[in-house]
Structure 1
Amino acid sequence: MSNDLNTPICPEDGDRVPAHVAIIMDGNGRWAQKRGQIRLAGHRAGVRSVRRAIEFAGRHGIRQLTLFAFSSENWKRPETEVSGLMELFSWALSNETKHLADNNIRFRVVGDTSRFPENVQTAISEAERVTSGNTGLRLVIAANYGGRWDIARAVQLLLRRVQAGEISVADVDEDLVTASLAVAEDVDLLIRTGGERRISNFLLWQLAYSEIYISDVLWPDFDSSVFQAALDYYRGRERRFGRTSEQVQERML
C-alpha cells in the first residue's frame, strides 16, 4: 500500500462515488479447485484481492469498505478449512496492521468474535487499538457475522434500554434500530463476486436501498478493473428511494 492511499483520484465525482461499499468476497474455494489446489490456497490468494480493494477504495474517496470475511454459517465447513482460515486471519492481521496505520485507515471487526481462538481475538483487538485514531477510510471486516444476528443483537440492546428506563417502547424507531446495529451505516453499493445472486445473510437491514452489482469474477481475481466496473454501474443508476424519476430530477435542479 502506498502512503497516498487515501488521496482520492476522482474528487470531481462528488456524490456519484458511493460512501459505503460492501463486498461479499465469494469464489476462493472454486478458484483453488479449478487449479487443482486445496480450498485454503484460494483463501490465501484472496488476501491479495483484499489489499487491492482497500487501496482502490481509499484512492477513490470511498469512506467505508465493509468486507464479508466469515459468516456465522461458515463454521459448518470442514474443520481443516475453518482452522486454516483462523490461522490465515491471524497472520493477515499481524502483517497488515502497520500498513493500515501508516495509511490512515481505521480498522474494525464486527460479529461475534468470542468464538474465535484467543490469538485471533488478540490480533483483532491490537489492530483496532493501533488504528483507532485514524481518520481516513473506515475498513470493517464482518467475521462470524450474520445479518439476522446483527438485528437480533440490536433488539436485545434496545430491550435492555427499555428495561433500564432509558427509553420507552414508543421511542424505538428505525433510527434507533440502525444506531444499535454492529454496522450503523447504510450500504450504497453491494458487490458480490463469484456469480451467485443472493445476499447470504449479510447486512440485511443496511442493504435496504443498496445498489447491487454481481460479478462472475472469482474473488482471488478481483482487481481494480472489476471494482471500477462496479463503480461505473453505480454511477449509471438512478437512486430514487421511493420517489419518481421526475421528483429525483427536480431535486437535482
Structure 2
Amino acid sequence: MDVTRRVPEHVAIIMDGNGRWAKMRGYPRTMGHRKGVEAVREAVRVAGDLGISYLTLFAFSSENWTRPETEVNDLMGLLKAFIRRDLAELHRENVRIRIIGARDNMPGDVLPLLLEAEETTKDNSGLTLVIAFNYGSRDEIARAARKLAARVAAGELSVEAITPVAFARELDTFGIPDPDLIIRTSGEERLSNFLLWQAAYAELLFIPDFWPDFSRETFMAALESFARRERRFGGVDPVAAAVSR
C-alpha cells in the first residue's frame, strides 16, 4: 500500500519499553534509554520524509519523577544531550520544535534548553516536533480549568462561554491539530495520561515492538494500518448507510 496517499497530519507516539528492551539483553536500563534516542532520530526522519506535519513524542511524563533518581538523572542528561547535539541539524532540516507540559517544576538547567529549542526553530515551516516533557494530561486539563475559572471569577468570561473550543484554547496543545494516530510501543494497551482530551477521535495502534526497536519499517507498517482504517468521527459510513436503507 502506498501510505503517502493517506498520510496522517499528526502522529503521536508513546515511546514505551526502553527498560524492558535493556533487561532482555542483560543491559542496564540506561542503555535502553540511550538506544531509544536513536529511535527518536529515525522517527523524526521518517515523519519529515513522508510529509507528516506534526509528530508528538511522549518524552517524560509528570509521573516519571517517581522513578529512581539515577534513572531520572540519566533521562535528563539524554534530553540535554539530544537538544545540544541535534538542535542545529533539526533547524537546518526546517523542523520546528514545540514543548508541551508543566514548566513550573522543571530542573533549572533543562528549561532554558527547551526554551532555546523553541525560540531557535519558531519560524521553521517543516515538520513540527512536539516534545511532551513533564507532561500529564490530567494536569494539563486541570491547569486549563483553573485558567478559565480565574477568568470567570474576574468577570472576563461567562460560564456559558466555556465551550469545548474555548477550553481547547487553554491547553498546552493550542494551535496544534488533534492527533490522527496515536502509537504505543511495547505491547501495553493504554494511553497512560497522554493527550486524553486531544485523543477523542484519534486512531489508536498498540504494537509489540519495544521503543529501541522502532525502525523505519515499523513506522511504515503503522502508517499502512492507519491508511486502511475508516474514520467517521461519530458519523455513519455513507456506503453502509445506503445499504441499510
**Superposition map of 1:9-20 within 5 A:** 13=5, 16-20=6-10
Q: 1:225 to 1:249 in 2, by over 3 A?
A: farther
Contact 2:57 2:131 in 1 (8 A): yes
Instruction: Report sequence identity in percent.
Output: 50
Q: Give deviations 1:179-227, integer Å, cap 9, x for gaps.
A: 2110132110000011100000000000011101111111011011111
Q: Name the SS for the 2:55 alignment partner.
A: strand
Contact 2:55 2:130 in 1 (8 A): yes
Residue in structure 2 matched with residue 244 of structure 1 by the alignment: 236
Residue in structure 2 matched with residue 66 of structure 1 by the alignment: 56
Matched, 1:125 2:115: yes
Q: CA deviation at 1:102?
A: 0.4
Q: Which moved more, 1:138-147 or 1:241-250?
A: 241-250
Q: CA deviation at 1:40?
A: 0.9
Matched, 1:213 2:213: no
Q: Aligned partners of 1:114 and 1:91: how far apart in 2?
A: 22
**Superposition map of 1:30-179 within 5 A:** 30-179=20-169
TM-score scaled by length of structure 2: 0.93
Residue in structure 2 matched with residue 6 of structure 1 by the alignment: none
Pairwise CA RMSD: 1.7
Aligned pairs, how many? 239
2:118 alignment partner AA: E
Residue in structure 1 matched with residue 190 of structure 2 by the alignment: 198
Q: CA deviation at 1:64?
A: 0.6
**Superposition map of 1:212-231 within 5 A:** 212-231=204-223
Q: Aligned partners of 1:129 and 1:248: how far apart in 2?
A: 48
Contact 1:111 1:142 in 2 (8 A): yes
Q: Aligned partners of 2:19 and 2:86: how far apart in 1?
A: 23
TM-score scaled by length of structure 1: 0.90
Higher relative contact order (CA 8 A, sep 6+): 2
Q: Give deviations 1:64-112, integer Å, cap 9, x for gaps.
A: 1110011111111111101111111111111111011101111011112
Contact 1:240 1:248 in 2 (8 A): no
Q: Aligned partners of 2:113 and 2:186: how far apart in 1?
A: 29
Q: Aligned partners of 2:169 and 2:48: how far apart in 1?
A: 25
Contact 1:11 1:61 in 2 (8 A): no
Q: Give deviations 1:26-75, integer Å, cap 9, x for gaps.
A: 01001111111110110011001001101111111111111001111111
Structure 2 stretches lacking a partner, 5+ long:
none
Contact 2:4 2:50 in 1 (8 A): no
Q: Aligned partners of 2:204 and 2:213: how far apart in 1?
A: 19
Q: Name the SS for the 2:110 alignment partner.
A: helix
Q: Aligned partners of 1:27 and 1:219: how far apart in 2?
A: 6
